[in-house]
Amino acid sequence: MSRQPGDAPPVRRVDKILAMMSLGILVLSIGCFVSVMIAGAVGVEDYSSGVWPQVFIVQMVGPVVSFLLLLALLIMSFIRRGRANRR
């Protein structure tokens, strides 16, 4: 019995979790970027104390981690679809 061309394997829970984690980290990173822009407009000059070092780290590392999570999701999806097409 052959499969219909439109049949897709069901979306797994881990795929949803990876997608939401990636989106959440990206939104957090954009929020940190916006907060730095607002702080600069307000007149904050000392970014070396308080919460600012963590904000800068999240702003720089967040998009990279988000991209890696999306890449892992894409690879897992390709593997899952390849195994489903063999059956």
| Cβ-contact 55, 32 below 8 angstroms | yes
Asked whether the predicted pLDDT for residue 2 surpasses 60, the reply is: no
pLDDT digits (tens, 9 = 90+) for 37-87: 999 999 999 999 999 999 999 999 999 999 999 999 999 999 988 888 887
Both tokens assigned to 19:
């997608």
pLDDT for position 67: 97
What is the per-residue pLDDT across 12-29, written as a single tens digit (0 to 9) for each?
899 999 999 999 999 999
User: Rounded to an integer, what distance in angstroms lies between the CA atom of residue 71 and that of residue 74?
Assistant: 5
**How do the domains of the chain map onto residue ranges?**
15-86
